[in-house]
Amino acid sequence: MSFLSDSTTCQNRPTPNFLVVGGGGSRESNEIALEKNLLYFQRTLRTFGYNPAEAIVFFANGNDGGATIRYIDRLGQQHFKSPEIPHLRGGATGENLDRWFGEMASTASRRPLFFYFTGHGLPQSLILWGHESFTVADLSRQLDRLPRETPVVLMMAQCYSGSFADFIYQGGDRARPLSPQTRCGFFATVASRPSVGCTPLIDEADYRDYSSSFFAGLSGVTRTGQSVPSADYNGDGRVSYAEAHGFAKVDEQTMDWPISTSEAWLQNRATEADRDRIFGGAIATLLSTARPEQEYVVNSIVSQFNFDRQASLVENLSTLPESEVSDRVQAAYLMRLQMELVNIGMEAKLRAAGDAGAIATLDRLLNCESGSWQ
């Protein structure tokens, strides 16, 4: 059995290779929201004019007919059912992933790869069916089988997903140089934290998670079919991955701290002195070097808390009533603001320093993150 899809075009665009992996490690952790996330992804493909059959989908136990998806009905009763995902190619196993990457390597395809994972994770690892571990290093080794000219974009929503930002390095090891292959990604939260969204409840109108917001921003359509304001913040006629990521930072009302590869790279370079300087400067001054999607995030959260843009973050926080940050969602929005200000401030510092190598690395990541399905 081959997992390869035919190379097609959509509105004169080469179809990316869409690789979609989801589900829990066992039926007890295989919540119905994970199945519904894949169905929403397929609807999003159709929104862009892509054929969902072109996406390679591996989910949980695959097509063996087992009732492995856990859900709770509106009466509060727990049930299990079989996967009902169109065009499902098989189970979410290391064997299937190895076979798919091997087939891709044999074709020497240079088509872009978009890899979406929705499931569970541990630091530096995805959890596949049967509680099989698939690490950052495993992913890096599989990607190394593809041509260097194949650009790769990850979108991951599992707990500790930010640890996969290290896949940009050779062997997935931050101590080694960048991979020669163009790689970037977007993650529900930072490497040290769990994320939200794996629910057995069936009403999608109540779902609040990073991937729901990311794909709503990217496509302009929520998982329940509602239109959202355009995330084309730079007005170039398309929504980039980075813009969808910015949309999600504001739209997602959860405790998550979303992060991208370029942001993780910048955050890792920030010292305590850098953070003190950034948090002590006027927000409006920092915004003078921000990209449009960054400006949107900062202005949205600043407005949410009625902060003064002419004052610093430190000054604004000193006057913030404790009642306004009484829950984890509000606290998460404040952390997203801090992270965004660090992203902006560290990029400005790096460019002012004139380090050609560091600037080239950042620009490479930003160019990858500015890609789009349009």
* Tens digits of residue pLDDT in 76-88: 999 999 999 999 9
Q: Which two tokens stand for residue 240?
A: 């980039």
pLDDT for the residue numbered 9:
42
Amino acid 329: pLDDT: 93
Nearest Cα to 252, choosing from 295, 307, 197, 325? 197
Q: How many residues does the chain have?
A: 374
Contact (CB, 8 A) for 76 and 1: no
- Quick check: 259 and 369 in contact, CB under 8 A? no
- CB contact at 8 A, 183 and 167: yes
pLDDT of amino acid 13: 55
CATH code 3.40.50.1460 for 9-228: yes
Q: Give me 109's structure tokens.
A: 């395809």
d(CA 86, CA 367): 33
Q: How far apart are CA 172 and CA 152, in angstroms?
A: 14
Environment class of 239 (CB within 10 Å of its CB; exposed 0-12, middle 13-18, buried 19+): buried
**Contact of 91 with 62, CB cutoff 8 Å:** yes
Question: Rounded to an integer, what distance in angstroms lies between the CA atom of residue 226 and that of residue 121?
Answer: 30
Domain residue ranges of the chain, discontinuous segments joined by +: 9-228, 264-369
The pTM of the full predicted model, rounded to 2 decimals, is 0.95
β-strand pairing of 88-90 with 56-59: parallel
Question: Is residue 95 packed enough to be buried (19+ CB in 10 Å), middle (13-18) or exposed (0-12)?
Answer: exposed
| Residue 10 DSSP SS3 | strand
Based on the number of CB atoms within 10 Å of its own CB, is 153 exposed (0-12), middle (13-18) or buried (19 or more)? buried
The residue ranges of the chain whose pLDDT is under 70 are 1-14
Neighbours of 177 (CB within 10 A): 10
CA distance 152 to 112: 6
**According to the model, what pLDDT value does residue 297 have?**
98
8 Å CB contact between 197 and 210? yes
pLDDT of residue 7: 47
258 touches 210 (CB < 8 A): yes
Residues 6 or more apart whose CB falls under 8 angstroms from that of 163 comprise 121, 123, 124, 125, 136, 191
DSSP for 33-101 reads HHHHHHHHHHHHHHHTT--GGGSEEEETTTTS----EEEE-TTS-EEEE----TTEEE-S-HHHHHHHH
pLDDT of residue 11: 45
Residues whose CB is less than 8 angstroms from the CB of residue 132 and which lie 6 or more positions away in sequence, other chains included: 25, 93, 94
Q: Retrieve residue 117's tokens.
A: 């994972």
**How does DSSP classify residue 308?**
-
How many beta carbons lie within 10 A of that of residue 77, not counting itself?
8
The whole-number pLDDT of residue 3 equals 60
Q: Which pLDDT score, from 0 to 100, does residue 8 have? A: 44
Task: Specify the pLDDT at position 317.
Answer: 96
CB 22 within 8 Å of CB 126: no
